[in-house]
Structure 1
Amino acid sequence: MSDQPTLAEFAVEQSESDEQTEMLDPNASNETVTMTADKQVATYLIEDQMADLTDAIREAVQNGIDSPNSTRVLVSVSPERSIIVDDGAGVDLESTEGKRNLSVLGAGTKQRADDETIGEWGIGKGAIIAKGAVRIWSHSRALHFDYRDQRTTGPWADSSGREGNVVETEHSLGGVLVEIDHYEGEVPDPESYRWHRYVRDLRKRFAYVHSQTDVDVIINGESAARGDPREAISETSGPSITRETDDAVIALEHTSHEGLEIYSNGLYVTTSREYGVSGVVVSKGNLTLNFARNDIQSGCDRWERIEQTLEETRDELYDEVPDDRLDDESREVMVEQMFSGSSSTDWTNRSLFQLANESRISLTRIQAAPEIGWIESAEKGADKLVERGYVVLDTSDPATKRLREYTDRDDADLELPSSFDVGERAEAEGVWTGYNCIDDESQLNADQRRYLLFARVLATELGIDREIYYGEASADAWTDGRTYIAITDSAVSSRQREVWMHDLYLVLLHEAAHETASTDQPSHGHHFESTYRSLVEDPANREAFANLVQQVVAGGFESVFQEYDVESS
């Protein structure tokens, strides 16, 4: 009889009770400790190991793929129930082994070193019974579970919690059929966009299973197979590259925003954006995955070999991309590779680093400069210095930030020229670095005009009796403390309407809290903080802002501007 815990009873019996355990010899140099488990572990394995119903369906489909002689797995998903059926050899539920494989957590025919099968009814069966009342039917027997005890009639009437029951069926079924009668709340609203995304994401999980196993997974009448992984980038207009080794098929393209999809033996695992490219990696054989099967465990030998090939292939791809087409993520990855010493490619002459005027420069040119300056964000005068031939590096750019961080390390072996203070140099060169209100507002672009007019309306609604101007400065805004407030481009953090309107709300209240000029080392002491906090938390101000936003949503900006009779000069 197996000593593995069943779904009806998950506990490892200790050979002796606590009362019978002998005292350890205090003079002994070695101790023996036995790992045990209790029913709380069962609850975790059943209820907490998987995120949603798609994980349970994945477990059932995997076992269908692994079934001997299986050629296809049919999946039917509706808001009420999911049915997964394969055409494999099935499970003998009349035998002790067959019942054990479907009722013992961890039991199954798969061994850890098995490089062929994907599932094989191991721990994953716990995820299946957590998501609905379940029927597992093969040949002339069916096993039923109702883990939450929510079904009082039909085949689940005699099932409750981890107690399942096996019944004879009227008909014999080849293969295995898994029916999950969904518990409430396990699927999205079928009328919502989330439902369509739900089915689409389910297909994605099995996109390359057929390419590795020759088993076709068909979901709601449509095959999930995407064909050869190398075709994933066949229609890309930019640089791309493919590689095939004994461990994997790799297809990469230079568009980092979509990320790199990783598949274990054709089964989707995760999307990684740390490589600075898009595409797919499909392993030949299983990767060692974590418990939830949504990431790769450290120490996976196959993945270590794949990753080495992946990084070499990615570096080859970068060599095909012109400097002016490298995106921010790619440049950041290239810089990290340079300083880690893990890249065999010399990128010191590639224009990877950003100057204050948003142009780019190579490490070779940086090192050749007599001296360099650093800024962390837009600083007036810095771009003018670049125009005059100075090297002023902008660390708000990710790749350039990595350069600064590396050179600040104690163990850095990179020599850079000495640094100068950008503000002092700009002043010495006669480059403007102060605060400037824009007199001719016709110079403003459409976005700037909208920010300015909204800020004027908002100031009226908030009772801020100061003129509102648009200006140029390194600060988000400034005020003379009495008559005016000037806002700048950096006052808004996003072009999304709801975000920048709230940005301006906070900026105006911040400047309104200043009772003296905020241009020269403004005071942000206790009095200012108290005043600013009271303005932000004032219910009248909150209501005024909310009402104005509703007016914009209902009628648009121009309608509101006309109503308040504001316009740019």
Structure 2
Amino acid sequence: MTDHLTLSEFATSESTDSRLGSQPSTNETVTMTADERVATYLIEDQMADLTDAIREAVQNGIDSPGSSRVLVSISPERSLILDDGAGVDLKSTEGRRNLSVLGAGSKQRADDETIGEWGIGKGAIIAKGAVRIWSHDTALCFDYRDRRDSGTWADINGRDGQLVDAEHYLEGMLVEIDHYEDEVPDPDSYRWRRYIRDLRKRFAYVQSRTGVSVVINGESVNQGDPLEAVADSPHPSLTRETEDAILALEYTPHEGLDIYSNGLYVTTKREYGVGGSVVSKGNLTLNFARNDIQSGCDRWQRIDNALEQTRDDLYAEVSDDRLTAESREVMIEAMASESSDEQWAHRKLFQLATESRISLEEIQAAPKIGWVGGAEKGADKLVERGYVVLDTSDSATQRLCDLATDEDTSITVPETFDVGEQAESEGVWTGYHRIEDESQLNADQRRYLRFARVLAKELGIERNVYYSEASADAWTDGRTYIVITDSAVTSRQRAVWMHDLYLVVLHEAAHETSSRDRPSHGHHFESKFRSLVEDPGNRSSFAELVQQIVDEGFESVFDKYEVDLQRSEGVSSGQFR
């Protein structure tokens, strides 16, 4: 009577080692065949880690005629892959050739009945450990790196495999990889959890396409019907089925779009500006490592066209204020093409200096526009007065700026004006002017300024300290003064803002020339700034000042150091321009 062994029976060394190791050899050597250089590449270089080898074995199990289930067991010692398909007759010439000749096999690229393509996966398998490939009553054994010196593997190495008789009949195929220690992580490494996670994702939709279930360490990996993948998404979503694929899109651009070839995970693409999954009906033409789609794949070209239209339909359901920078860049690229120049012209995709959004139609309707790279003196005030000042620190707006000078794009924008000059002419320039009447500062600003003046004295910095409403954190002329602003502090919590001012004052003190406009932050500056911050005397002075304030209060300390506020009759603002 024929015995049909389960995966659990093969998962112990007693069951596999004793049965195979004790059987007489058929005295036939089977060599993994290919050109020497090609064979070395296919075996040693083509795959990144153990998951690639297991993936190949699982794919073979899925492709096996009659297979309905592939069981996988992964542990630090060994990996086992067992399918219930027709198996391979290793006693036949064809059977031995299919498992020993790199590139050989019955799989064809155009064959949508199988998910493998190249017939080279066996090379990845023997690179990761001593291997037994067992089907029916015969096993083929390899020890590519010659790391085993007992049992079946004692007398074999390299690409030469050994056929042995098995005591028990196995209908289907078992692939056992007895791991080489240097090919796998340490037993307690986090990478084992990552391996399981990656393999579960790899075969998530295989059952929906092939009908073959994959079970890894006792748990099914099946994610069900791809059309239901985004059914419970809290984000806007859209599903569509074509002759070539199932598209399940959701508005999660940061996650990217998972691409599955006939149910087998291939790659995640982020250039579409959406999340979700695409599962092709039939194989995509993949690259050698099977982690991307080859150019010229006709099926993917048709899917790509449908995908772009579905994405556009999904974008129509997303409000302008929810559009991420990634999505807005995708939309701008589409608008830059001749066929889509007005597709989203009414959508508010571009960021103004006030951080509000504006559409291409509104931009094109302006007589002139300005560009700023983030906060710039007076830019927000100009926007409030009706000017169009675009903020290129926003990546999508920067892309528009790039396209505006590209002769090959269909996007046109008005002429530009100088934001600084316009702000000054409008009287809204808030550039490098200190506040002359310091009594007009609010309570927090007065405290920041007086503390900074005390701090400068304690640190031995012989520069006057002033206050400004500009957007820069601070600046200096490099000799006589330092100007701080509201931006110098990041929190109203006392411990935080005092340390903020400590760093800002030392930063400006490290500048030996003016830090307005484009300050030099080269190696010399960085070295000096670091030495000031790390100087034990400075750190001690700062700590003592803070403790003094804790013990005595701000006003007592300020009075002791005789720091007070200046009124408008002080230094003219003109010297700070």
- Which interval holds the TM-score relative to the shorter structure? 0.7 to 0.9
**Does structure 1 residue 166 correspond to structure 2 residue 168?**
no
Q: Does structure 2 retain, via aligned residues, the 8 Å contact 1:62–1:120?
A: no
What is the rounded CA distance, in whole Å, between the counterparts of 2:458 and 2:205 in structure 1? 58
**Does structure 1 residue 148 correspond to structure 2 residue 141?**
no
What is the rounded CA distance, in whole Å, between the counterparts of 2:50 and 2:223 in structure 1? 23
Aligned length: 507
Of 528, 540, 546, 1:535 maps to 528
Matches within 5 A, 1:207-222: 207-222=204-219
Deviations 1:369-395 (A, max 9, x none): 121111122212111111111000112
Which secondary structure does the structure 2 equivalent of 1:256 belong to?
coil
Q: Does structure 1 retain, via aligned residues, the 8 Å contact 2:108–2:117?
A: no
Which secondary structure does the structure 1 equivalent of 2:254 belong to?
helix
Of 50, 58, 61, 1:61 maps to 58
Seen in structure 2, the aligned counterparts of structure 1 residues 71 and 342 have a Cα distance that, compared at 3 Å, is: farther
What is the rounded CA distance, in whole Å, between the counterparts of 1:151 and 1:504 in structure 2? 66
Q: Does structure 2 retain, via aligned residues, the 8 Å contact 1:133–1:144?
A: yes
Of 231, 235, 250, 1:234 maps to 231
**Residue of structure 1 in register with 2:351 after alignment:** 354
What is the rounded CA distance, in whole Å, between the counterparts of 1:542 and 1:388 in structure 2? 46
Identity of aligned pairs, percent? 69
The alignment's TM-score, normalised by the length of structure 1, stands at: 0.79
**Does structure 1 residue 336 correspond to structure 2 residue 330?**
no
Partner AA of 1:201 in structure 2 = D
What is the rounded CA distance, in whole Å, between the counterparts of 2:194 and 2:471 in structure 1? 43
Q: Does structure 1 retain, via aligned residues, the 8 Å contact 2:108–2:118?
A: no
Of 248, 254, 257, 1:257 maps to 254
**Residue of structure 2 in register with 1:392 after alignment:** 389
**Residue of structure 2 in register with 1:403 after alignment:** 400
Partner AA of 1:517 in structure 2 = S
What is the rounded CA distance, in whole Å, between the counterparts of 2:489 and 2:106 in structure 1? 59
Q: CA RMSD in A?
A: 3.8
**Does structure 1 residue 427 correspond to structure 2 residue 410?**
no
Partner AA of 2:71 in structure 1 = L
Seen in structure 2, the aligned counterparts of structure 1 residues 121 and 364 have a Cα distance that, compared at 3 Å, is: closer
What is the rounded CA distance, in whole Å, between the counterparts of 2:249 and 2:544 in structure 1? 49
Shift of 1:410: 2.3
Partner AA of 2:516 in structure 1 = T
Q: Does structure 2 retain, via aligned residues, the 8 Å contact 1:63–1:121?
A: no
Seen in structure 2, the aligned counterparts of structure 1 residues 432 and 50 have a Cα distance that, compared at 3 Å, is: same
Deviations 1:426-457 (A, max 9, x none): 1111113324679768658xxxx9xxx9x999
In structure 1, stretches of 5+ residues that fail to align are 1-5, 12-38, 494-502, 552-558
Of 98, 111, 114, 1:114 maps to 111
Seen in structure 2, the aligned counterparts of structure 1 residues 386 and 200 have a Cα distance that, compared at 3 Å, is: same
**Residue of structure 2 in register with 1:376 after alignment:** 373
Shift of 1:562: 6.0
Matches within 5 A, 1:81-480: 81-119=78-116, 122-343=119-340, 346-435=343-432, 473=470, 475=472, 477-480=474-477
What is the rounded CA distance, in whole Å, between the counterparts of 1:492 and 1:168 in structure 2? 78
What is the rounded CA distance, in whole Å, between the counterparts of 1:57 and 1:489 in structure 2? 58
Greater shift, 216-225 or 108-117, is seen at 108-117
Larger radius of gyration between Structure 1 and Structure 2? 2
Partner AA of 2:331 in structure 1 = M
In structure 2, stretches of 5+ residues that fail to align are 1-29, 491-499, 556-577
What is the rounded CA distance, in whole Å, between the counterparts of 1:49 and 1:213 in structure 2? 26
Greater shift, 215-224 or 41-50, is seen at 41-50
What is the rounded CA distance, in whole Å, between the counterparts of 2:465 and 2:78 in structure 1? 60
Shift of 1:318: 0.8
What is the rounded CA distance, in whole Å, between the counterparts of 2:544 and 2:260 in structure 1? 52
What is the rounded CA distance, in whole Å, between the counterparts of 2:199 and 2:370 in structure 1? 51
What is the rounded CA distance, in whole Å, between the counterparts of 1:169 and 1:295 in structure 2? 40
Seen in structure 2, the aligned counterparts of structure 1 residues 391 and 197 have a Cα distance that, compared at 3 Å, is: same
Shift of 1:542: 6.6
What is the rounded CA distance, in whole Å, between the counterparts of 1:82 and 1:294 in structure 2? 22
The alignment's TM-score, normalised by the length of structure 2, stands at: 0.78
Q: Does structure 2 retain, via aligned residues, the 8 Å contact 1:462–1:544?
A: no
Shift of 1:460: 11
Seen in structure 2, the aligned counterparts of structure 1 residues 541 and 561 have a Cα distance that, compared at 3 Å, is: closer
Which secondary structure does the structure 1 equivalent of 2:155 belong to?
coil
Matches within 5 A, 1:26-37: none
Seen in structure 2, the aligned counterparts of structure 1 residues 301 and 169 have a Cα distance that, compared at 3 Å, is: same
